Amino acid sequence: MNLFRKHPSLPVFLGLLAAFVLAVTLMSEAAGAGLVSTSFVKTLGKTLCLCLIALAMDLVWGYTGILSLGHFAFFGLGGYMIGMWLMYARTETIVEASLASGALPPTPQEVQDAIATQIFGVVGASDLPAIWSLAGSLPAQLALVVLVPAALAAVFGWLAFRARVTGVYLSILTQAMTLALALWLFQNDSGLRGNNGLSGLQNIPGLEQHGQDLVSLWFFWASALALGLGYLGAQWLVSGKFGSVIRAIRDDEARVRFLGYPVEGFKLFVFVLTAVVAGLAGALYYPQAGIVNPAELAPIASIYLAVWVAIGGRGRLYGAVIGAAFVSLVSTWFTGGNAPDIPLGGYTLHWVDWWQVLLGLSFVAVTLYAPRGIGGLFDLLAGLRAPNRRGAPLGPDQGALQEKEADA
Amino acid sequence: MSTLLEVSGVSVTFDGFRAINNLSFSIAEGELRAVIGPNGAGKTTFMDIVTGKTRPDSGRVLFGEKSVDLLRLSEARIARAGVGRKFQRPTVFEDQTVAENLMLALRAHRAPWRVLFWRPKPADHARIAELAAEVGLSDQLPRKAGELSHGQKQWLEIGMLLAQEPRLLLVDEPAAGMTGPEREHTTDLLVSLARSRAVVVVEHDMEFVRRLACKVTVLHEGSVLAEGSLDHVTANPAVIDVYLGRG
Ligand SMILES: Nc1ncnc2c1ncn2[C@@H]1O[C@H](COP(=O)(O)OP(=O)(O)OP(=O)(O)O)[C@@H](O)[C@H]1O
Ligand SMILES: [Mg+2]
């Protein structure tokens, strides 16, 4: 409870989140009001998941100074892990229904073969790959949502941090990891349906009798709960001595070593923890999106994540959330064709095409002119100033907070 | 007095240039020692070796009564074994408050898992206040370290070293860039520090070294040129030749 008193932004954030959930619920189709369409409830639920992964990105980049450009890989993996169960279990019900009409009850082997043919027909295979052996069990796949991103992050982080790879080189390595994973998933024989990905994920086995309006609302609630808990946990993490150590690592890791802290251990801890959070966010996101495919893991997605956090304001939790919510909602608006096209004489400016350019320019503008991002507006309101350090960053490391990002 | 640190036959080469050349000397438990020498003599490099930042090509560095070989440990392990270091330029965590800086340095478990669940007890707050008083920063505790003056940052760093409770403290040019009164305060701090632990001070300024009133080691081209009281070494013709004669 001390946490709430020390960080007034925490109760404000949780309060706003609760009010938002209540408002959306009351206006949803499930509540009969129909002011907010079911598809928009899904968009909002997905946005909350993106806020959660942005929170993870802020921990790893804003607080620890590791500019990871690979966290969307963990997000995608979380989606794949839950998607495997969703697809398998749903296909199982369909297959069992169709086989039930036969004279003899089907053997388990027949059922499995039929499921495999159903799922893998698109990639011309009919055997269930070994990685699908647990797909029939929800608890097992839920465990994998946590374990697979954690294992990948642990192996990657252990190799990279132990070799003391930092700064730009580390960012490039994380990009390479994401790219390699995406390319592997694109292959048909990777066992995850190649570029088709996993689809039909919005149909939750066991919840068929409920309409999408209700199911989407449940996922929206679950996403909000995850974000609230994630925010609370992140606030707790960064408020104590642990937060002090990781911020110190961000600004000057050599100095932290000479204080006796195992810097690599801390980086690995944060990297793995945030990978798990990203995986969980992905597991909540993709059932709302309905489909997960390798394009979701494209390196650009992870770069967007960094852009959101930068635009929201790095090194402050609500900044990351605001950045992710703001940019992804605005992006949905522009790419959804809602923005009016601008006729420019001979050329018509279609926002669907030009939105990316606008985003790129705003990123550059924020970096140059408002390094504290949207979150910095709150500092203006609170009358906080930046420390005057005559342009010097707050530490020698590449990830160190810059003068204009910090508050005095 | 028993030996705390023993450096024997250490050599380091940077791109063919021998920065430390077969360096051997030892520091006793609780000793205060000044190390002087011209620019590029290898003073900072010596500290880099003891603290694990630079790996020598040959030689041994033994520490403590169990004679642990420091060359086999990581920087963090060396720090936990009881070697503290103050850098040439003040290095404190500028985005954090004076209290947070001291709290970071405070002797406690260092593993991530232990740090995660560590919460300061009243005794820890009291210790922080005591340390701040000792280095003269009592009224600066809630301020961000980045806002302190150069001298105050140096003291904060000394306070952090005190909080770490090392058995051996390596201090690189603590008085560089300080004003007269700041220097005096720093000398007093170092002398009082040395009452409970071994301290090695690297310094250029002769007046400063004289005030420390301790044994002096003169380094030159990566090895020991002379050792003894300040008057003894300053009378040494070789020392006058390479160091004092030029100033
Ligand atoms: N990482 C490095 N790479 C290459 N050369 C180095 C490196 N570190 C130190 N040197 C060289 O080793 C020599 C010893 O340097 P060192 O910094 O130890 O001197 P110093 O006695 O501390 O000098 P000063 O009084 O100027 O601080 C110098 O010639 C320096 O240029
Ligand atoms: Mg030096």
Q: Which of B94, B103, B118, B144 to probe the A interface (max A CBs under 10 A)?
A: B94
Please report whether residue A229 resides in a domain.
yes
pLDDT at A1: 60
In chain A, the number of structural domains is 1
Are A382 and A394 within 8 A, CB to CB? Answer: no
Give me the phi and psi of A342, to 5 degrees please.
-110, 115
Are A150 and A279 within 8 A, CB to CB? Answer: yes
Mean pLDDT throughout A359-364? 84
What would the two tokens of residue B99 be? 């209290």
Mean pLDDT throughout A323-345? 83
Are B160 and B102 within 8 A, CB to CB? Answer: yes
Q: Hey, are the CB atoms on B112 and A408 less than 8 Å from each other?
A: no
The string of pLDDT tens digits covering residues A264-318 is 999 999 999 999 999 999 999 999 999 999 998 888 888 889 999 999 988 889 9
Residue A158: pLDDT above 60? yes
The string of pLDDT tens digits covering residues A13-44 is 999 999 999 999 999 888 877 888 989 999 99
Are B175 and B184 within 8 A, CB to CB? Answer: no
Please report whether residue A259 resides in a domain.
yes
What would the two tokens of residue B243 be? 């160091």
What letter does residue A297 receive in the DSSP assignment?
G
Q: Over pLDDT 70: what percentage of chain A?
A: 96
Closest CA to A309 of A297, A323, A294: A323
Please report whether residue A366 resides in a domain.
no
Closest CA to B3 of B28, B24, B30: B28
Q: Which of A107-121, A196-210, B233-247 has the lowest mean pLDDT?
A: B233-247
Domain interval for residue B99: 3-244
Read off the pLDDT band of A180 (50, 70, 90). Answer: very high
Chain A contacts of B87, Cβ < 8 Å? 255
pLDDT at B244: 56
Query: Which residue's CA is minimally distant from atom 28 of ligand 1?
Result: B40
B220 lines ligand 1 (CB under 6 A): no
Q: How far is the CA of B246 from the centre of ligand 1 (A)?
A: 19
Name residue, tokens 């005030």: B211
Dist. CA B210–CA A359, nearest whole Å: 63
Dist. CA B87–CA A158, nearest whole Å: 29
In chain B, the number of structural domains is 1
pLDDT at B247: 46
pLDDT at A391: 61
Beta carbons within 10 angstroms of residue A105's beta carbon: 10
Q: How far is the CA of A253 from the centre of ligand 2 (A)?
A: 20
Specify the 3-state DSSP secondary structure of B18: strand
Through-space distance between the first and last CA atoms of chain B, rounded to whole angstroms: 35
B40 lines ligand 1 (CB under 6 A): yes
Whole-Å CA distances, A367 to A83, A237, A282, A364, A374: 37, 27, 28, 5, 11
Residue A403: pLDDT above 80? no
Half-sphere exposure of A288 (CA within 13 A, CB side): 28
> Residue A222 region, left (φ>0) first, then alpha (ψ -120 to 50), else beta?
alpha
Mean pLDDT throughout A81-100? 91
Closest CA to A406 of A326, A318, A313: A313
**What totals of helices (H) and strands (E) does chain B contain, helices first?**
10, 10
Through-space distance between the first and last CA atoms of chain A, rounded to whole angstroms: 26
Full DSSP string of A173-230:
HHHHHHHHHHHHHHSGGGSS-GGG-EE-TTS-TT-TTS-HHHHHHHHHHHHHHHHHHH
Residue A125: pLDDT above 60? yes
> What is the CATH number for B78?
3.40.50.300
Residue A207: pLDDT above 60? yes
Q: Which residues of chain B have pLDDT under 50?
A: 247
pLDDT at B242: 80
What would the two tokens of residue A308 be? 């959101």
Please report whether residue A309 resides in a domain.
no
* Cα angle: B109, vertex B111, B117; to 5 degrees: 75
Cα torsion A309, A36, A13, A275 to 10°: value is -40
Please report whether residue A335 resides in a domain.
no
Nearest-Cα distance to chain B for A187, in Å, is 39
What would the two tokens of residue B239 be? 């020392």
pLDDT at B246: 56
B37 lines ligand 1 (CB under 6 A): yes
Of the bound ligands, which one is closest to the alpha carbon of residue B14? Answer: 1
Residue A94: pLDDT above 70? yes
Q: Over pLDDT 70: what percentage of chain B?
A: 98
Nearest-Cα distance to chain A for B11, in Å, is 22
Residue A137: pLDDT above 90? yes
Chain A contacts of B143, Cβ < 8 Å? none
Chain B contacts of A255, Cβ < 8 Å? 87, 91, 93
pLDDT at A384: 63
Q: Select from A248, A257, A263 the Cβ nearest to the Cβ of B104.
A: A248
Q: Does B191 touch chain A (CB under 8 A)?
A: no
Interface of A with B in 362-391 (CB under 8 A): 387, 389
pLDDT at A345: 78
pLDDT at A257: 94
**Residue B204 or residue A147, greater confidence:** A147
Are B110 and A256 within 8 A, CB to CB? Answer: no
Residue A390: pLDDT above 70? no
Q: In what order do the strands lie in the sheet with B17-28?
A: B17-28, B3-14, B58-63, B68-69
Please report whether residue A40 resides in a domain.
yes
Q: Select from B75, B111, B113 the Cβ nearest to the Cβ of A257.
A: B75
pLDDT at B234: 86
Q: Hey, are the CB atoms on B146 and A394 less than 8 Å from each other?
A: yes
Closest CA to A281 of A241, A336, A226, A318: A226
Alpha carbon B152 to chain centroid, angstroms: 17
Considering all CA atoms of chain A, what is the largest pairwise distance in Å, rounded to the nearest integer? 84
Whole-Å CA distances, A122 to A77, A197, B40, B87, B141: 21, 10, 70, 63, 66
Specify the 3-state DSSP secondary structure of A117: helix
Please report whether residue A266 resides in a domain.
yes
Helix (H) or strand (E) holding B182: helix B180-193
Residue A386: pLDDT above 70? no
pLDDT at A337: 73
Per residue, the 3-state secondary structure of A338-392, as one string, reads: CCCCEEECCEEECHHHHHHHHHHHHHHHHHHHCCCCCCHHHHHHHCCCCCCCCCC
Dist. CA B125–CA B133, nearest whole Å: 12
As to burial, measured by CB atoms within 10 angstroms (0-12 exposed, 13-18 middle, 19+ buried), residue A15 is: exposed
Domain interval for residue A262: 2-299
Question: What pTM value is reported for the model?
Answer: 0.91
Please report whether residue A403 resides in a domain.
no
> At residue A211, what is the residue type?
G
Q: Select from A242, A258, A395 the Cβ nearest to the Cβ of B115.
A: A242
